[in-house]
Structure 1
Amino acid sequence: MGSSTSTELISAVQVPVTILSMLEPEGLLWPKQAELKNNSAYDYIVVGGGSAGCVVSSRLAESGKDTVFMAEAGDDPPIISLLPGLFSLFPGSIYDYQYKSTEDTYAAKGQNNYTKLQAGKMLGGSDSLNHLLHTRGTPSDFDTWAEISKDSSWKYDNILQYFIKSERLVDEPTLKKYGKYHGTSGPMGISRQPRDSQVANLLKAFAEVGNPSVLDLNANITLGYTQPQFMIADKKRQTPAYSYLKNVKNNSNLFVSKNTRVTRIIFDDNKAVAIEAVYKGETYIFRANKEIIVSAGVYNTPQILQLSGIGPKEHLEKFDINVINDLPVGDNFVDQVSVTLVYKLESHIPFLPNLADVDLDPTAVPFPVLAGSVALNKSATNPDYQTYNLLLGQNTPLLPVACAVVFDLRDEICDKWQKEIINRDALYTVAALLQPKSRGTVRLASADPFKDPVITTGYFTNNEDLETMVKIIKDFTTVGNTEYFKKIGAELAGLDLDVCADKTKGSDEFWKCYILNHAGSPYHAVGSCPMGEVVDGNLKVKGVEGLRVVDASVMPKIPHGAPNAAVIMLAEKAADMIKSANAN
């Protein structure tokens, strides 16, 4: 099966998925649509029902005392989004904003010069369509947040309680060894899917080149290869739309309005007092008695703030937007740029699929996964890169699905890999640069709130990132010299590139060429409204009252891992801060 065929097949399946979602009884899994009345008032208004918005809304509503209104631009997730094995159905669907970067002929060649930027457009946001990995980052990440925000409450020792509070870890070996770092009674179920026999040789190979096998990268160990934790429990995806909202969805004090686009925040002098929103073509005003919390995500939060007059003065004035406060909203955008490598592994009976490495159970991730956190300097304690390694069975369609559908690389790239791995298992590796120095921006396209924001990734604009990525590839590919890889004749696929033909294969210049033709996003963007610059340590927007931001956009530095676990932690902490500030 070619990549274009895989993409077409996924697109065809998305149609009945959408139709089926329309037939789901309202209120069965998700909160019912609120009855809207113009000029109605609530104690708290939460803008955005994504990962953070669901957590904050749930925690603010759980006492039953304060009224909470949450506006989400998307709809309910389809019920089958709870099936972990079907995650590849939702990128590029109506449940994805389908954002793309500005044209980038330098770093986005592998994606036809426009980087795909996945973002969930439904309750639960990107946690309703992401790849389910649960990685926290390292303790030093949060100590750095505390330094930048000048607020010691963000230190790791102080925020660990919120990771624990959020979790319901279902994995006896991890709890036995690292129980003090994990929760067992929180809303969000976490589990592992160990497939020891299938990955034993790979783990041994990575250990041979200095990367030890570890049980838990979310405890006090920051380096090594592991069979990772997933946001899966009870055979369901643990999106906060389900794991958090199910506990409060029938509360009379929680009002959730879906398919509701917030167009601006309304200020009275310097205080945020209301939002303007559009639902089914009608414009409404909703007023906040206490606070407005913006949790629209790393792309949409800066857009809403800028539309409301909070952002770079010169940019806002281009669109005749009244400037409430001149802040660097959208300036610190950062994403962990990644590059993909494919190893040809063992061969089996020719022309037959190797189903031993495929899990056909839709309630499980369909293939074995290894996550590796690796430091280039072997005496360092923090990783420079993280790899997400998918073991794909021989002659199965999983590689083109991962390549073309999930990560949106060009069909020619994916088809080349698929042809080269015929009759071989494959190791599909996404290697992410964890602490890039390059920065991008999020800007308005116009004063029209229904126009997509203008997103510039900035990948490799700081040349040091490209140099580091070369070191990452050279470090990772040392696994090719291990006993197991040599024994099975493993080799990298897809290295005969016309565009890099003038470079010596394996040289730094060759790898630079390879990277720039295979780079993409692992969908780990943060920082477009960071602490210290746009918000303070309490996540209050600087220079105004009654307004906070609670989502990945406030992270002043990207974690050493996928940021979704840190988003949940951040939202748990924010909810406590908000309740404490409004206790009297």
Structure 2
Amino acid sequence: MAISLASQVIAVSAALISLDYSHRFTARPEPPKAEYDYIVIGAGTGGATVAARLSELSNVQVLLLEAGGPGNIESDAPAMANMIIKGQWNWNYTNVKQSVGIGWKNQVIPEHRGYGLGGTSSINSMVFNRGNSRGYDDWANRYGATGWGWDDVHQYFMKWENNTDSKIVKDNPDWHSTKGPVQVSSFKNPDPIYQLMVRANNELGYPTTDINGPKQVGVAISQSFTTVRGVRSSSSNSYLEGKRRPNLDISVYSRVIRLLFKGLAATGVQYVKNDVTYVAKATKEIIVSAGAINTPQLLMLSGIGPAQHLHHHSIPVLSDLPVGVGLKNHPRIDLRVLIKNDSLVTTSRQQDLNSLTVPNLYKWFTYGSGPLSEYHNTVTFLNSRNNKDKNWPDLSVEVRLLYQPTDIQSSAQSFDDVYGWTEYLKPYANRYYFQMMPIHQLPRSSGYVQLKSSNPYDAPVINPKLLSHPKDMDELVEVIRYALYMAERSSLAQYLLPLRPIPGCNACPHTSYLYECDSYIKCQIKQITWTVYHDCCTVRMGDPYSKDTVLDPRLKIKGLHRLRVCDASVFPNIPNANINSATFMVGEKCAEMIKEDNH
């Protein structure tokens, strides 16, 4: 029997009120107490995991401080992924001007970072991708991160994973778990155009694979961080929502501005909530999990960092360590390829604000289905010519379906040449297209995070030095060439409209296709390179005797006491993957080490 629109409106209204209450109830409205056993700074992927696991100890008191606010429908509905990064859930950072990406607005590349419960796990594209086992062995063997090889960290990946696809688990039972708090799910009904994309990759020699299984090279319609009910599996939804414990206080809109010390021991934090400054003390440990940008900023503001840089900002030096050094990120460009026939797009429809209709909301709340419930990519892993280990791929192409609203100029505002991009995007209005993202997964280039000033409210200086290593540039050209070939000459091409040169770039006069024109590919890199916002490696762990590390392998800051870091900043090197999975793993392992050391 059909449900009337009026009944749907009533049901949706009640569900929205319940959802809002659930999110707000996760955090306590009153200021926290003055003293705790543990204080965790940042409720992102690492921080929410650590805080939740520590609060399993009923005899300890844990405070979790988050600068942003609680979740809402935008952070829960997977299809809102492209909308949420434009709003209040983003720190809205930018990188300093690079030698590439000069076509972006003001010639600076945006850098999205999550601001709120769940951190970047509440705004990312939800791709479940652990990274190659060889990368973690490299952490241990090359960087001296003892205890972080694949055989060591595998159990912590399994500890958080709750894989809802029984076939994937059955095919690779040693590589997946169904017992963790974080659900990952497969695409229920992939659009026909996604299936054609997979087939085209198969024909070019890339088999269908489980990218989180033993063989990474190949193509997959990726699993995503979503539940079987079509809700985003952020760290907040997975570890904090509905699991409120009396010994875990969660304080939102609480921005930590300084760590406090007695000698070399961390004793507390200074934070601001509702324009009032508070101090909270920790009797056991402070865990900094503010992310790969904000963690080094906070440490440097507190006197932990390169001495010369701290002196420049008149900050007393507590410990001279290479904080902020070694920033890595995955460089990419985006190709927009129009789908010829909208009938090939069935599930991934209306992935924008137009999908927030009463019928769609009713389907999502009642059945966990409909346009709001899905957001998936295809991922193809491949190797560059330079890559010596062909089982550890260094390149990938991620592809997702998007819908271009009629407001073309709003999209064009992201670029410096607003008029040129407005004209370029006109054929995309009210159309579905593939966003094809060629990515360098193992870049050699690295940069830094520094302070702009000693004012904690000044955004830090972010310089990833993208593609500063010449081999990175050459290999990005390779993967872009592959993506262009897919769009222009593979069996997929017949279902796509021909590509046109982007504003500021010209096709070669004597070639028929863009993939044949290296000067065009290099121009694209110059104009529209940006990142997958996978910032990491700014507070690196590893050999405690190395001058390049800040942390020992137990994630303790060298030379200091009662202070650890547990987020993506601790990575010795960037995984060849979306980094959310690895950050969950760091959170799980970090929490266990804290328990081992203190209980």
- With the shorter chain as reference, the TM-score category is 0.7 to 0.9
Give the CA deviation at 1:574: 0.4
Query: Aligned partners of 1:22 and 1:324: how far apart in 2?
Result: 47
Could you say which residue in structure 1 is the equivalent of 2:36? 42
Match of 1:166 among 160, 165, 189: 160
1:511 aligned to 2:521? yes
What residue number does 1:14 align with? none
The answer to whether the Cα contact below 8 Å between 2:424 and 2:502 also exists between their aligned partners in 1 is no
> Residue 438 of structure 1 aligns with which residue?
445
Match among 358, 371, 389 for residue 349 of structure 2? 358
1:212 correspondence with 2:218? no
Aligned equivalent of 1:472, options 467, 470, 479: 479
> Which range moves more in the overlay, 24-33 or 272-281?
24-33
Contact 2:42 2:290 in 1 (8 A): yes
1:221, 1:23 → 2: CA distance?
40
In 2, Cα distance between the equivalents of 1:337 and 1:21? 40
- Equivalences for residues 199-238 of structure 1 within 5 A: 199-214=194-209, 216-233=210-227, 234-238=229-233
Write the letter of the residue equivalent to 1:572.
Answer: E
Distance 1:140 1:578 in 2: 26
Equivalent residue runs for 1:201-350 within 5 Å: 201-214=196-209, 216-233=210-227, 234-246=229-241, 248-249=243-244, 251-347=245-341
- Taking a change above 3 Å as real, the CA distance of residues 142 and 420 of structure 1, as seen in their structure-2 partners, is same
For the pair 1:454 / 2:464, whether they are aligned, the reply is no
Q: By how many angstroms is 1:155 displaced?
A: 1.0
Distance between the aligned counterparts of 2:491 and 2:416, measured in 1? 29
- 2:3 maps to none
Task: Give runs of aligned pairs for residues 13-52 of structure 1, distance below 5 A.
Answer: 24-25=20-21, 30-37=26-33, 40-52=34-46
Among 160, 175, 179, the alignment partner of 1:181 is 175
Seen in structure 2, the aligned counterparts of structure 1 residues 492 and 309 have a Cα distance that, compared at 3 Å, is farther
Q: Which amino acid aligns with 1:454?
A: V
1:523 aligns with 2:533: yes
1:21–1:77 contact (8 Å) kept in structure 2? no
| Number of the residue aligned with 1:493 | 499
Identify if the C-alpha distance between structure 1 residues 183 and 31 changes in structure 2 by more than 3 Å, giving closer, same or farther.
Answer: farther
**What is the aligned-residue RMSD (CA, Å)?**
2.9
Distance 2:442 2:178 in 1: 31
Match of 1:104, SS? coil
Rate the CA distance shift 1:108–1:147 in 2: closer, same or farther, 3 A: farther
Deviations 1:206-243, CA, capped at 9 Å, x for gaps: 112121122x2111111111010111002211111111
Aligned to 2:63: 69
Q: CA 1:399–1:133 in structure 2 vs 1: closer, same or farther (change >3 Å)?
A: farther
Q: Is 2:422 the partner of 1:391?
A: no
Pick from 185, 195, 198 the counterpart of residue 191 of structure 1.
Answer: 185
> CA 1:88–1:201 in structure 2 vs 1: closer, same or farther (change >3 Å)?
closer
Deviation string 1:466-508 (CA, Å, 9 cap, x unpaired) is: 11111111233332565524544x4652316444468876333
> Paired residue for 1:541, among 557, 579, 590?
557
* Aligned residue number for residue 4 of structure 2: none
Tell me by how many angstroms 1:152 deviates. Answer: 3.6
Matched-pair contact (CA < 8 Å) for 2:127–2:377: no
Report the CA distance between 1:362 and its aligned residue.
4.3
Counterpart contact for 1:388–1:429, Cα < 8 Å: yes
1:246–1:422 distance in 2 versus 1, CA, 3 Å:
closer
Q: 1:35: Cα distance to partner?
A: 3.2
Partner of 2:584: 568
Mapped to 2, the partners of 1:240 and 1:263 lie a distance apart of 23
Give, in whole Å, the separation in 1 of the partners of 2:284 and 2:348.
53
Q: Show the counterpart of 2:367.
A: none
Q: Which amino acid in 2 is paired with 1:209? A: L
CA 1:435/1:399 → structure 2, altered by over 3 Å: closer, same or farther? farther
- Aligned equivalents of 1:399 and 1:512: distance in 2? 29
- Preserved contact between residue 435 and residue 558 of structure 1 (Cα < 8 Å): yes
Counterpart of 1:9 in structure 2 is: none
Secondary structure of the corresponding residue to residue 274 of structure 1: strand
Q: Which runs of 5+ in 1 are unaligned?
A: 1-19
Secondary structure (helix, strand or coil) at the match of 1:168 reads: strand
Indicate if the aligned counterparts of 1:86 and 1:362 stay in contact, CA closer than 8 A.
Answer: no
Using the alignment, how far apart are the partners of 2:172 and 2:132 within structure 1?
15
- The DSSP-based 3-state class of the residue aligned with 1:25 is helix
| Aligned partner of residue 21 in structure 2, secondary structure | coil
CA contact (8 A) 1:266 1:275 kept: yes
Deviation for aligned residue 1:452: 0.9
Distance 1:487 1:511, change over 3 A: closer
Residue 83 (1) aligns with residue 77 (2): yes
Using the TM superposition, give the Cα deviation of residue 311 of structure 1 relative to its aligned residue in structure 2, in angstroms.
0.4
Aligned counterpart, 1:103 = 97
Shift of 1:345: 4.2
Aligned-partner SS, 1:237: coil
Give me the whole-angstrom Cα distance separating, in 1, the residues matched to 2:156 and 2:235. 15
* Stretch of structure 1 that moved more, 195-204 or 548-557: 195-204
The Cα offsets for residues 501-541 of structure 1, whole Å up to 9 and x where unpaired, read as 68876333332111111211111111111113111111111
Alpha-carbon distance in structure 1 between the residues aligned to 2:417 and 2:504: 15
TM-score by length of 1: 0.88
Cα 1:274–1:21, aligned 2, differ >3 Å: closer, same or farther?
Answer: farther
Match of 1:369 in 2: 377
Structure 2 residue runs of 5 or longer lacking an equivalent are 1-15, 356-369, 543-548
Distance of 1:481 and 1:286 partners within structure 2: 59
Conserved? CA contact 1:198–1:357, under 8 Å = no
One-letter identity of the residue aligned with 1:430: M
Matched residue, 1:381? 391
TM-score by length of 2: 0.85
Moved more, 199-208 or 263-272: 199-208
Q: Deviations over 1:238-284 (max 9, x none)?
A: 111111013642x2211111111111111111111111111222222
Indicate the larger mover: 566-575 or 495-504: 495-504
Amino acid at match of 1:380: K
Q: Give me the whole-angstrom Cα distance separating, in 1, the residues matched to 2:63 and 2:482.
A: 50
1:27, 1:483 → 2: CA distance? 46
Change (3 A) 1:34 1:573: farther
Relative to structure 1, the CA distance from residue 496 to residue 121 in structure 2 (aligned partners, 3 Å threshold; closer, same or farther) is: closer
Equivalent pair of 2:24/2:70 in contact (CA under 8 Å) = no
Q: Secondary structure at the match of 1:229?
A: coil
Q: Does the residue aligned with 1:570 lie in a helix, a strand or coil?
A: helix
- C-alpha distance in 2, partners of 1:444/1:503? 47
| SS of 2:26 mapped into structure 1 | coil
Percent identity of paired positions between Structure 1 and Structure 2: 29
The DSSP-based 3-state class of the residue aligned with 2:554 is: coil
